[in-house]
Amino acid sequence: MWQLFQFPLCPFSRKVRLLLGEKGIGYDLVRESPWEMRDEFLDLNPAGTTPVVVDQEKGVTLIDSQAICEYFEETVEKFPLISGTAAGRAEVRRLTAFFDQNFYGDVVGPLLHERMKKRLIERVSPDARVLREAMRRANVHMDYMDYLLDHRSWMAGGTLSLADIAAAAHLSVADYLGGIDWAGHEPVKRWYAGFKSRPSFRPLLSERMEVITPPTHYEKPDF
């Protein structure tokens, strides 16, 4: 059985969980707070980041969400998430990188630092200026997502792909932290409402990070 080392608001762990759920792969969750720098966890991943996926019986340790997703995409045929033509697969990977790098760097990373790490670890108040800028950038990125969904059924084309999973993972964390203004983004809102109803997504919506409460709409598929 696979073990997934993660914490509830790690968007990269959510990305892996959604892929595993869509492919029907069983796993056990192991709560890991990477800022604690546990020796046992650093033995698995000296970089000290989540997610890490381990199968002790097979002696396999996988690190980095994209590497983990590519591993299961290559080894499990069920529900392919990087498929289609070479150009189509390139588009899936491009948009996955966009969410993992741009959306995370501009929106999710700052929100996590200000509304989670400062509260749980540093015990200081968030910087309102940083929060406003993260929300402004979220709005810009969601304009682009609206554009994509106006021209496609899913983020990267006609079928659900890893790009959608990455987008949903990062957007869900930003939404949990109150960083998303849904007004004026009906295409993304409809797409996300549908994603929230998927069986792979429901377990994520029921989880909570200690002392941090999400908005009242967070769990509702129709919001």
Neighbouring residues of 212: CB distance < 8 A, sequence distance ≥ 6: 9, 115, 116, 119, 120, 176, 177
Q: Examine the pLDDT at 82 and tell me if it is beyond 90.
A: yes
> What does the pLDDT look like over 168-182, one tens digit per residue?
999 999 999 999 999
Neighbouring residues of 37: CB distance < 8 A, sequence distance ≥ 6: 48
Q: Which amino acid is at 46?
A: P
Fold of 86-206: Glutathione S-transferase Yfyf (Class Pi); Chain A, domain 2 (1.20.1050)
> What does the pLDDT look like over 84-141, one tens digit per residue?
999 999 999 999 999 999 999 999 999 999 999 999 999 999 999 999 999 999 999 9
Q: How far is CA 146 from the centre of its chain?
A: 19
pTM of the predicted structure, to 2 decimals: 0.97
Q: Give the residue range(s) of CATH 1.20.1050.10 domains in the chain.
A: 86-206
SS3 48: coil
Q: Give the residue range(s) of CATH 3.40.30.10 domains in the chain.
A: 2-75
CA pair distance 222, 149, nearest whole angstrom? 18
Q: What is the pLDDT of residue 223?
A: 85
User: For residue 213, what is the DSSP state?
Assistant: P
Q: What is the pLDDT of residue 107?
A: 98
SS3 41: helix
CA pair distance 118, 110, nearest whole angstrom? 11
Q: Side by side, which strands form the sheet with 52-55? A: 27-31, 2-6, 52-55, 60-63
- Average pLDDT across the chain, whole number: 97
Q: Examine the pLDDT at 54 and tell me if it is beyond 90.
A: yes
DSSP 72-134: HHHH--SS-SS-SSHHHHHHHHHHHHIIIIIIIIIIIHHHHIIIIIIIIII-----HHHHHHH
Q: Examine the pLDDT at 222 and tell me if it is beyond 90.
A: no
Q: Examine the pLDDT at 221 and tell me if it is beyond 90.
A: no
In the chain, % of residues over pLDDT 70: 100
Fold of 2-75: Glutaredoxin (3.40.30)
| Of the candidate ranges 19-23, 188-192, 218-222, the one whose mean pLDDT is the lowest | 218-222
